[in-house]
Amino acid sequence: MTEQNRQTNARLDRIEQAIAEQGRQIIGRIDSLTRWLVGMQVASLIALGTLILLACLCSGIVPPRLQATATSCRSPRSRPLKGKVT
């Protein structure tokens, strides 16, 4: 091998290492973004479920499993009034 070939190979090795490092950085960023998005998705689903449950409880539509709990936890103000409703 001539000196010029060695220099060219050394330069190519440095370029290859730089590209590999940039690739690792990009993959790391994609990985952290993916983890963040999955976390946001889980948080959104929990929030949505909570809102649906609250809406059901407030409107009187209660899933059968929660019916006993919901009726025992209701405040006296939320119970229907006795007598005629006009």
At 70 the pLDDT is: 52
For residue 72, tell me if it sits in a domain: no
The total number of structural domains that make up the chain: 1
For residue 77, tell me if it sits in a domain: no
Does residue 16 carry a pLDDT above 70?
yes
For residue 75, tell me if it sits in a domain: no
For residue 74, tell me if it sits in a domain: no
For residue 78, tell me if it sits in a domain: no
For residue 41, tell me if it sits in a domain: yes
HSE of 27, CA atoms in CB hemisphere, 13 A: 6
For residue 20, tell me if it sits in a domain: yes
Residue 39's domain comprises: 3-66
Work out the mean pLDDT of the chain and round it to a whole number: 82
Q: Find the distance separating the first CA and the last CA of the chain, reported in whole Å.
A: 102
At 77 the pLDDT is: 56
For residue 45, tell me if it sits in a domain: yes
Q: pLDDT for 48-85, tens place per residue?
A: 999 988 888 787 776 666 666 655 555 555 555 565 55
